[in-house]
Structure 1
Amino acid sequence: MAGPMDSVGRAAKANMLLVVECGHCWHVGRFRANDVAKVVGWNKPLETIRFRCRRCSRKDATVRTQFIDQDHPPKGYIWVLQKARG
Structure 2
Amino acid sequence: MAGPMDSVGRAAKANMLLIVECRHCYHVGRFKANDVAKVVGWNKPLEAIRFRCKQCDRKDTVVKTQFIDQDHPPKGYIWVLQKARG
TM-score, L = length of structure 1:
0.99
Q: For the aligned residues, what is the CA RMSD?
A: 0.4
User: Is 1:14 matched with 2:17?
Assistant: no
Q: For structure 1, list consecutive stretches of 5 or more residues without a partner in the other structure.
A: none
Instruction: Tell me the alpha carbon deviations over residues 39-64 of structure 1, each in whole angstroms, 9 at most, x when there is no partner.
Output: 00000000000000001000000000
AA partner of residue 32 (structure 1): K
For the pair 1:83 / 2:83, whether they are aligned, the reply is: yes
Distance 2:10 2:4 in 1: 8
Aligned-pair distance for 1:69?
Answer: 0.2
Residue 12 of structure 1: SS of its match in structure 2? Answer: helix
Could you say which residue in structure 2 is the equivalent of 1:68? 68
Q: Could you tell me the TM-score, scaled by structure 2's length?
A: 0.99
The match for 1:50 is 50
Q: Count the aligned residue pairs.
A: 86
Q: Percent identity?
A: 87
Structure 2 gap segments, 5+ residues each: none
Distance, in Å, in 2 between the alignment partners of 1:48 and 1:15 is 20
TM-superposition CA deviations, 1:10-58 (whole Å, max 9, x none): 0000000000000001000000000000000000000000000001000
